[in-house]
Structures are given as C-alpha cells and as structure tokens.
Amino acid sequence: MPPFTEIIPYVIALAAAGMLAGVLAGMFGIGGGAILVPIFFHVFGILHVPEEVCMHLALGTSLAIIVPTSIRSFMAHRQRGAVDTQSLKGWIVAVPLGTLLAAGIAAVASSTELQLIFALIALGLALRMIFNRASWQLGSDLPGNPIKFAVGMAIGVLSGLMGIGGGVLNNTFMTLYGRSIHQAVATSAGVGVLISLPGLFGYLLAGWGEPGLPPFSTGYINWLAVALLIPITLSVAPLGARLAHAMTKRQLEIGFGLFLITVSLQFFLTVFA
C-alpha cells in the first residue's frame, strides 16, 4: 500500500464521489453506482490493485454501497406515493435471479470486457434519454408475464454487470410503456434494493480467495471504501429525491442522458487509449 499521505487525495475524491452518488441516487433512482464504478476503478488502479481485478472490485464495492443508499432513496420516494409497488412485487424473483447470474458471468469475464459492457449500455441509454420523443413508446402500459419476468431478469443481469442499481434500465423500460419519468425514478429506487442485496453476496462469492485484492476486502468488495462512502451517500440521498420532484420530465431526461454519456466516454477512453 502507498504511504498514508499519498492516499489522502483519493480519500477526498471518494468522499466527493459519495456525495454526488447520493444525490444521483435520489434524483435518478440509480443507486449511485454509475458514478462510483468509474471512480473506484481509477482509485483502485492508483493504489496498485492489479488491473485484472480492478473492475470486478469496483463493481462489487459499488453494489455493496448501493444497498443502504437504495433503501433510503426508496423510502423517500415511497413517502411521496410515486412508487409502482405492483411492478416491484412482480420482480421479486426475476431481478435478484438476474443479478446473481451477472455475478457468475463477472467471475469469468475480463476487466476490459466489463468496462466495454458498462460503456456500451450507458451510451445507448443516454442517447435514448436525450433524443427521447413522446412517440417512442412500445405500449400504453407495462406488459405482463412472461415478458415482464424476462425484462426483470435482463435488468438484473445488465445492472449486475455494470455495478448499478438498475435505474438506468428500469427508467427506460417504464417510460417506453407510458409511465412518467417521476414514477420510473421512484420505482427504480426499489429495483435497486432487489439488485444490490443479491449482488453484494454474488460478488463476495465470485471473488472469494482471488489473489491481488487490497486489504479490507472480502471477495470483490472492499469494506474500507464501503465504510467511508455509505454515511455520505445516505445523508444526501433525500436531497436528490427532493430535486427530482422539483424538475420537469425533460430536465430529468436531459440531465440523466448527459451524465451517462460522460461516464461512457470515460470508459471508452480507458479501454482504447
């Protein structure tokens, strides 16, 4: 490990990222993972964590932090009556199952492959949000099973491979079927709970005994980063929820899309630079 004086700047960077992640969790229902994963990836690299496990460790640690953040964000949105609880009940099996499958895939995937998966999905969703039109709808209401179950599994798999709370995917799914962005954001906070809990255990087991992991790690989860960021993200998540309900649908869409483009480009540069 580097000297403590060299770690201080990265601790400060992680703390700042935690504040932003908490606000984003409440604002977009994303759990904060989309900002934490790229920052974790770079910070772990600077701290000399082997490149082969950097991305895996970033994904697992992000999901661990999302657990309390998603719960706090979900409770804040539920108090406003904006959550589609019926949809959440229908995904109690599908979403966690997909997330556990993602942990299994991550266990055999390379760091570069995981980075590209993250970047490609984020970019596609960003373009959809920015150039969204009211005519871009697949139906007037959410589909029933088996389509809904399959979508839930897909959200779990893709979110687990991105280390996110599922908001980026659930927001798109719900708005394509006529639901408001505000309800989609609120419901996504609940989806984050269904993803982060099994994701935490999945990445813990997937990285069990893996060589090269830094101190205070169990599997692909670094508990030092978790302990540092959880209090910060929890404290600011309700602020993000208040901001979401103060913004228009179009403001949320554009802001969400620009954020995803920034994250996507960062990973493309890392892979191809």
Residue 86's CB is within 10 A of a number of other CB atoms, namely 9
More confident: 212 or 149: 149
Per-domain boundaries in the chain: 4-272
- The pTM of the whole model exceeds 0.85: no
pLDDT 10s digits, 56-86: 999 999 999 888 878 877 887 788 777 878 8
pLDDT at 135 over 70: no
- Tokens 């108090």 map to which residue? 79
How many alpha carbons fall within 13 Å on the CB side of residue 115?
21
pLDDT at 145 over 80: yes
- Quote the crossing angle between the two packed helices 223-246 and 181-206, to the nearest 10°: 170
Binning pLDDT at 50, 70 and 90, where does residue 166 land? Answer: confident
pLDDT, average across residues 217-246: 81
CA distance 249 to 101: 33
Question: What six digits make up the tokens of 1?
Answer: 């490990």
pLDDT at 102 over 90: yes
pLDDT at 96 over 90: yes
Of all helices (H) and strands (E), which one includes residue 46? helix 33-46
Instruction: Quote the mean pLDDT of the chain.
Output: 82
pLDDT at 249 over 90: no
More confident: 166 or 98: 98
Q: Are 101 and 172 in contact, with CB atoms under 8 Å apart?
A: no
Q: What percent of the chain has pLDDT over 90?
A: 22
pLDDT at 220 over 90: yes
